[in-house]
């Protein structure tokens, strides 16, 4: 049987919290959605890399489904999204992806959404070379040839070389201490575990049935009761909740005897830390590298320092070295390079203190556009709202706040109780407390407006949604604002 890359179905795993790149990545906006590389997110680059393949499926969450859809649209793709009711690690996610197409022998290519592989041709060539082994019933895992004794990655030990160009797997190894990582590098037999797999659908389902039968059955029941919604598919939440949370390495890869390794010598990074992103960036003669709004950065007598600037603020460094500086509108990180890997501990502290900066940015993406909380006071809040052409906010009313809207760019079609009217630039309107209202953009350019809220309670849960184009409901943590 001849198999081309057109017969390979990629499944992109879009989960992950991304706390190691805080404050740029946050719980509701993890690193795969952040524009880190030349203005593109890692998820956009992943979709670009998979352009040669067909029938892409993304496994993601309800809260982030429109971020995934936006990344796909930027790559001119229509993708099916399977929306996990909750995160259960990679094994249940891969089971959902495998079960989505029945139980035939098609080849599935599982790819994390947050990895950076700059050479698309090398990536596609690697996958093509591994096809015969996968068609023969092997689970092919792609291991990256290490160039340093990294302690940030798991490793896989390569055994004997097989006729299909792969190596027999001799075991998956946890992230090592530096001394052991150095020994791995010197041996020439160890590769970094990239978490990319090529496998026949029926083979993966069979291995899951062998080693995790209860998990597989829970996923099968969840998919059998799934609810289709256009390009979204929602597995049953109650059934999926009974699937054991486990990584695919623990569930299958460390136990199955048909796992083989195809080594990849190209450039690869999981962009797992600020140091990793710094290493990927061009540096000047003093070892400094810049990110974000680089025009807002000025380095004076600065060495071996990475600075990521926000568009709205100038950053000047003087007489410093070996620092990581990351600025956002509501949080600033300054760390020595050797301590920045501990940023996830800081995020845990912020979560324990219930600080909003651990969860979301000041500017929050929505399916209709975005809003930026410019000012928050005791009885008032000011937001800058952007609405995409043709998009509309939900029809809603509030119990505790009134709103004043001022259009600064574009045209707004406003619903306020029984009235429906247009607002143009420099025009405004008042939405009384309790009024049923909606804003939509009937124009061809983005609508920008300032919203001033006033009232006794300004929380994001003060909303009664009556109609919504995006299927959002009150159970969604992301769905309560406008």
pLDDT of residue 171 exceeding 60, the answer is yes
231 and 100 inside one domain: yes
pLDDT score for 335 = 97
Q: Point out the domain boundary residue: 215, 230, 264.
A: 264
227 and 311 inside one domain: no
Within-domain flag for 473: no
278 and 219 inside one domain: no
pLDDT of residue 433 exceeding 70, the answer is yes
Name the least confident of 75-79, 314-318, 427-431, 451-455. Answer: 75-79
455 and 310 inside one domain: no
Residues facing 420 on adjacent strands: 415
Within-domain flag for 350: no
Confidence of residue 62 (pLDDT cuts 50, 70, 90): confident
Within-domain flag for 462: yes
Q: Report the distance separating Cα 317 and Cα 304, nearest Å.
A: 12
Confidence of residue 473 (pLDDT cuts 50, 70, 90): low
Within-domain flag for 372: yes
252 and 308 inside one domain: no
390 and 414 inside one domain: yes
pLDDT of residue 477 exceeding 50, the answer is no
Name the least confident of 66-80, 176-190, 235-249, 350-364. Answer: 66-80
Please return the burial class of 468, using the count of CB atoms within 10 Å of its CB with bins 0-12, 13-18 and 19+. middle
pLDDT score for 124 = 94
Contacts of 246 (CB under 8 A, 6+ apart): 88, 89, 91, 92, 212, 215
Within-domain flag for 127: yes
pLDDT score for 478 = 37
Within-domain flag for 26: yes
Confidence of residue 480 (pLDDT cuts 50, 70, 90): very low
256 and 367 inside one domain: no
Confidence of residue 475 (pLDDT cuts 50, 70, 90): very low
Give the pLDDT confidence of 330-342 residue by residue, as tens digits: 999 999 999 998 9
pLDDT score for 474 = 44
pLDDT of residue 63 exceeding 90, the answer is no
Q: Point out the domain boundary residue: 234, 264, 294.
A: 264
Nearest to 115 by CA among 193, 204, 205, 223: 193
Q: Average pLDDT, whole number, for the chain?
A: 91
Confidence of residue 4 (pLDDT cuts 50, 70, 90): low
57 and 188 inside one domain: yes
Contacts of 470 (CB under 8 A, 6+ apart): 66, 367, 368, 394
Give the pLDDT confidence of 293-352 residue by residue, as tens digits: 999 999 999 999 999 999 989 999 999 999 999 999 999 999 999 999 899 999 999 999
332 and 372 inside one domain: no
As a whole number, mean pLDDT of residues 252-275 equals 93
260 and 278 inside one domain: no
Tokens of 392: 């509309």
Confidence of residue 472 (pLDDT cuts 50, 70, 90): low
Question: Residue 68's domain is classified under what CATH number?
Answer: 3.90.550.10
How many domains does the chain divide into? Answer: 3
Q: Point out the domain boundary residue: 264, 293, 317.
A: 264
Give the pLDDT confidence of 380-407 residue by residue, as tens digits: 999 999 999 999 999 999 999 999 999 9
pLDDT score for 481 = 42
pLDDT of residue 479 exceeding 50, the answer is no
Give the pLDDT confidence of 264-286 residue by residue, as tens digits: 988 999 898 999 999 888 999 99
Range of the domain at 256: 5-264
Within-domain flag for 354: no
9 and 105 inside one domain: yes
Within-domain flag for 309: yes
pLDDT score for 195 = 94
197 and 307 inside one domain: no
Give the pLDDT confidence of 110-141 residue by residue, as tens digits: 999 999 999 999 999 999 999 999 999 999 99
């Amino acid at each position: 049987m001849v198999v081309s890359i057109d017969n390979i179905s990629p499944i992109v795993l879009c989960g992950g919290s991304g706390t190691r790149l805080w404050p740029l990545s946050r719980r509701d906006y993890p690193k795969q959605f952040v524009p880190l590389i030349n203005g593109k997110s890692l998820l956009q680059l992943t979709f670009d890399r998979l352009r040669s393949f067909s029938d892409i499926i993304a496994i993601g969450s309800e809260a982030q489904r429109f971020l995934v859809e936006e990344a796909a649209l930027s790559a001119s793709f229509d993708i099916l999204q399977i929306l996990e009711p909750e995160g259960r690690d990679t094994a249940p996610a891969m089971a959902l992806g495998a079960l989505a197409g029945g139980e035939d022998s098609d080849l599935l290519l599982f790819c994390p959404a947050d990895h950076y592989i700059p050479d698309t041709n090398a990536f596609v060539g690697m996958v093509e070379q591994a096809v015969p082994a996968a068609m023969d019933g092997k689970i092919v895992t792609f291991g990256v040839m290490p160039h340093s004794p990294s302690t940030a990655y798991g490793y896989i030990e390569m055994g004997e070389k097989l006729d299909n160009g792969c190596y027999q797997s001799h075991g998956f190894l946890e992230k090592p201490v530096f001394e052991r990582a150095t020994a791995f590098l010197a041996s020439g037999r160890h590769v970094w575990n990239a978490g990319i797999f090529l496998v026949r659908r029926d083979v993966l389902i069979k291995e899951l049935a062998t080693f995790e039968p209860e998990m597989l059955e829970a996923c099968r029941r969840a998919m059998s009761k799934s609810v289709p919604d256009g390009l979204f598919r929602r597995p049953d939440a109650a059934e999926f909740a009974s699937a054991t949370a486990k990584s695919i390495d623990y569930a299958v890869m460390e136990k199955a005897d048909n796992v083989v390794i195809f080594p990849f010598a190209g450039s690869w990074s999981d962009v797992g830390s600020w140091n990793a992103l710094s290493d990927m960036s061009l540096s000047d003669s003093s070892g400094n590298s810049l990110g974000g709004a680089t025009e807002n950065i000025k380095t004076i007598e600065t060495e071996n320092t990475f600075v990521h600037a926000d568009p709205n603020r100038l950053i000047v460094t003087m007489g410093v070295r070996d620092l990581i500086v990351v600025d956002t509108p509501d949080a600033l990180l300054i760390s020595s390079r050797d301590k920045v890997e501990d940023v996830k501990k800081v995020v845990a502290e912020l979560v324990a203190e219930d600080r909003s900066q651990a969860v979301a940015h000041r500017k929050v993406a929505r399916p209709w556009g975005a809003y930026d909380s410019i000012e928050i006071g005791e009885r008032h809040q000011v937001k800058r709202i952007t609405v995409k052409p043709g998009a509309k906010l939900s029809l809603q009313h509030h119990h505790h706040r009134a709103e004043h809207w001022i259009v600064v760019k574009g045209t707004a079609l406003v619903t306020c109780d029984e009235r429906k009217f247009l607002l143009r630039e420099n025009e405004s309107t008042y939405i009384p407390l309790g009024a049923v209202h909606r804003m939509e953009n009937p124009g061809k350019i983005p609508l920008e407006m300032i919203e001033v809220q006033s009232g006794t309670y300004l929380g994001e849960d003060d909303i009664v949604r009556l109609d919504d184009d995006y299927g959002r409901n009150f159970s969604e943590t992301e769905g309560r604002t406008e």
